[in-house]
Amino acid sequence: MISIKKNIDHHLSNYDKVQSSFSWDEIAKELNELPDGKGLNIAHEAIDRHAQTHLKDTVALRFIRKDRSFQDLTYGELQKQTSKFANVLQKLGVKKGERVFSFAGRVPELYTTALGTLKYTAVFCPLFSVFGPDPVFQRLSRGDATVLVTTSLLFEKKIKPLLERLPSLRFIILTDASEHFSAQIMSFPKLMEQASAEFSIPETNPEDAALLHFTSGTTGMPKGVLHVHQAVLTHYATGKYVLDFHEGDRYWCTADPGWVTGTSYGIITPLLHGVTSIIDEEEFDAIRWYSILEEHKISIWYTAPTAIRRLMRLEIKPCEEYHLEDLRLILSVGEPLHAEAVIWGQENFGIPILDNWWQTETGGIMIANYPSMTVKPGSMGKPLPGVEIAIAEINDKELKFITEPNIQGHLVLKKGFPSLFRGYLHEEERYNKCFIGEWYLSGDLAKKDADGYFWFIGRADDIIKTSGHMVGPFEVESTLMRHPAVAEAAVIGKPDPIIGELVKAFVVLKSGIESNEEIRMDIMGFARKLMGPAVAPKEIEFVESIPKTRSGKILRRLLKARELGLPEGDISTLEQS
Ligand code: ATP
Ligand code: MG
C-alpha cells in the first residue's frame, strides 16, 4: 500500500465524508447557468464563464507542434474562436442536434470545432485521424454527418472518394484551405474570418444531445454512443475529485479526441476547472514525452496503460534524468493497470499511478483511486461519489447482488448519474439490453473487497472457462508480466474437448531475449507456480507484437479468431504496427 506524499489540499480529503454528503444539485451550483435560466451548456461552462473572470488571459489550450514550438490560446481567445465557429454553423443553416464531425490530428481547429459545436447545441463527433476510408465512411454514414471539419490532405486521400455515398454530408470545411472550393467544400479560415466573435448561446436543456462517440471496438463492431449536455456535471465532479484540479495546474491528457477520453478529459474537463491544458500534436515517443512533462511543468498527467508499459520497458529513470518536481498526479485509464505499473510509478516518479475505470457509455470516470486515498496497486479504486456501483449475478434477466467481499460478478451501475449514455445510435435493442430495471450492465466483471475497492476481472466476453474454473485473462497476463523476460502478454481461451477451454498466452519477449523452448518452459513453470496448474497457460506462443485497438486495448477477440481460423470481424480500430 502506498500513499501519495506530495502536499496539497485535495478536494476529496475524506472519501466517506464526501460520499455521504454528495449531491448532483450541489455540483450544479458550482457551475453557472446561462443567463436568464437557459440551462447548463458544456461550452459555456468550459469557456465563456471563465472568459468573464480573471482567467480571461490564462492559457486554456497550449498546442505543441512537431518541432516542439507551441501555440497558446487563452480563455478569452478561445471564447472568440468558438463563438465564431458557432456563427459559422448558424450561417450554414445547420440545425440544433445535427452532427458535426471532425477528422483531423490534434490541431487547434479541432478544439474550436468541438467547443463551437457544443455552444451552438449541435452534436460533436470526433474521428481518429488515422482511420482509413472504410471506418470513416462507416461512422460518417451511421452518424448522419451534416458537417465535416478536416484537412485538405485527409480530404483528398480519404473523403473525396466517399462523397457520392454520403448524400447527407452538406458541408466539408478544410482547416488549411485559403479559399472556398464550392458551396459544399469550404475554407475554415475564410469562414472564421467572416464570422462575428459574438454569439449568444441558445437555451440548452439537460437532455439536449451534445456528443456522439464511437466505442473502441474491442469486443466487436464499434457502437455510436450518445451523450447529453447534462454530462457536464460528471465531467466537473471528476475534474474536482479525481483529477483534483487546482487553479494554476498544467495538465496533459495524452489521449486523442477521437476517443472518449480525449474529449471528456482532453477537451472538456480541464477547461471546466480553468486550468491550462497541454496538447501534443504528435504520437507517443518516450524522450519527447518526458521532455514535455519537464518543459511544460506538467502537474497532472492522464495517460493509458499501453503508454506506461512502453515507458517501463526502457532504461530511462525519469526522475533522475528530468526535472519533474511539478508533477503531482499521474492517472491511467483504458485497460487494467497492472500492480507493477503502479509501483513503477512510485519508484520512478515518487508517486503511484492512479488507475481509474470508465467506458464510452459512462461518459466520465466512475471508479477511481483518489489522490488522498490509500492506493491498492492493481485495484481500480472506489466509485465516484454520486454513483452507485455494485457487483451482481445475472440470472434470467434478473440481478442478484453480491454483498460478500471478493466474489466476482458483473459490474453494474445504477442509472441516475448525469453522464450515462442516452442511446446507441440506430441500435435501440442493443441499448435496451444493457439495462435490467434501474441498473446499467457494463459488460465487465469485477469484485469488491472488504474495504470497498473494486478489482477488475475481465470483460464478460473474454472470460475463459477451463476445467470448471472461470479465469480472467487479465489475471493471467498480470502474472506473466511479472516474469523478467516478458514485455507483454495476451491471453485467450481456446476451445478444448476435454477441459472446455484451454488457457493460451501470446507473449512478446523483452528485446534481446531469444524465444526458445527453454524460456517457454521457464515462463510456463513460473506461471504454474504462482497461479496453479489449472489456471496457468497450457500453451505459450511467442509473437512480435500483440494486436491492439488504436486506443491501446488488447484485441483478444482477434487473437481468438485468428487462432481458430475464423473471420476477423470488424478491425477498423486495429492499430497498424
Ligand atoms: P467496445 O465496447 O466497442 O468493445 P471498448 O469497451 O474497449 O470497446 P471503451 O468504451 O473505449 O470501448 O472502453 C471501455 C472498456 O475499457 C471498459 O469496459 C473496460 O473493459 C476497459 N477499461 C477501461 N478502463 C479500465 C481500467 N482502469 N481497468 C480495467 N479495464 C478498463
Ligand atoms: Mg465496451
User: How much is the pLDDT for 319?
Assistant: 87
Instruction: Report DSSP letters for 495-523, one per residue.
Output: EETTTEEEEEEEEEEPTT----HHHHHHH
**Cell digits of residue 391:** 457487483
pLDDT digits (tens, 9 = 90+) for 442-458: 999 999 999 999 999 99
Sorting pLDDT into bands at 50, 70 and 90, what band is 2?
very low
Q: What is the mean pLDDT of the chain?
A: 94
Helices vs. strands in the chain: H and E counts, helices first: 20, 28
> 249 C-alpha vs ligand 1 centroid, how far in Å?
28
CA angle 316, 322, 325 (to 5 degrees): 125
pLDDT digits (tens, 9 = 90+) for 498-535: 888 999 999 999 989 999 999 999 999 999 998 888 88
Ligand 1, CB within 6 Å, residue ranges = 215-220, 222-223, 333-337, 355-357, 359-360, 380, 442, 444, 456, 459, 551, 553
Which ligand approaches the C-alpha of residue 459 most closely?
1
Side-by-side strand order, sheet with 423-424:
185-187, 171-174, 145-150, 99-103, 123-127, 209-214, 224-228, 423-424
User: How much is the pLDDT for 6?
Assistant: 61
**SS3 label, residue 2:** strand
pLDDT digits (tens, 9 = 90+) for 450-502: 999 999 999 998 889 888 788 888 889 988 999 999 999 999 999 888 888 99
DSSP-assigned beta bridge partners for residue 150: 103, 174
Please, what are the domains in the chain? 15-448 (3.40.50.12780), 464-546 (3.30.300.30)
> 391 C-alpha vs ligand 1 centroid, how far in Å?
17
Mutate to test the pocket of ligand 1, among 138, 215, 380, 442 (most ligand atoms within 8 A of CB): 215
Sorting pLDDT into bands at 50, 70 and 90, what band is 3?
very low
Helices (H), 370-449: 428-432
DSSP-assigned beta bridge partners for residue 214: 224
Cα dihedral angle (304, 389, 359, 65), rounded to 10 degrees?
-40
31 Cβ partners below 8 Å, 6+ apart? 40, 45, 49, 232, 233, 236, 272
pLDDT digits (tens, 9 = 90+) for 26-75: 999 999 999 999 999 999 999 999 999 999 999 999 999 999 999 999 99
Mutate to test the pocket of ligand 1, among 553, 554, 572, 574 (most ligand atoms within 8 A of CB): 553
User: How much is the pLDDT for 1?
Assistant: 39
Which ligand approaches the C-alpha of residue 458 most closely?
1
**SS3 label, residue 194:** helix
Kindly tell me if the per-residue pLDDT of 419 is higher than 90: yes
529 Cβ partners below 8 Å, 6+ apart? none
pLDDT digits (tens, 9 = 90+) for 186-199: 999 999 999 999 99
User: pTM higher than 0.80, yes or no?
Assistant: yes
DSSP-assigned beta bridge partners for residue 506: 490, 541
Q: Is the dihedral of CA 292, 552, 427, 361 positive or negative?
A: negative
Which ligand approaches the C-alpha of residue 225 most closely?
1
**Amino acid at position 263, single letter:** T
Give the residue whose CA is nearest to atom 15 of ligand 1.
359
d(CA 225, CA 268): 17
Q: Which atom from ligand 1 is nearest to the alpha carbon of 474?
A: 29
380 DSSP 8-state letter: -
User: How much is the pLDDT for 176?
Assistant: 98
Kindly tell me if the per-residue pLDDT of 216 is higher than 90: no
Mean pLDDT, range 545-565, rounded to an integer: 92
> 219 C-alpha vs ligand 2 centroid, how far in Å?
7
For residue 251, give the H/E element and its range. Answer: strand 250-253
Sorting pLDDT into bands at 50, 70 and 90, what band is 4?
very low
pLDDT digits (tens, 9 = 90+) for 117-146: 999 999 999 999 988 888 899 999 999 999
Sorting pLDDT into bands at 50, 70 and 90, what band is 5?
very low
Closest CA to 180 of 170, 191, 169: 191
Q: Which atom from ligand 1 is nearest to the alpha carbon of 456?
A: 29
Q: Percent of the chain beyond pLDDT 90?
A: 85
pLDDT digits (tens, 9 = 90+) for 72-113: 999 999 999 999 999 999 999 999 999 999 999 999 999 999
Q: What is the ipTM of this complex?
A: 0.99
Mean pLDDT, range 414-426, rounded to an integer: 97
Do 92 and 66 meet the contact criterion of CB atoms below 8 Å apart?
Answer: no
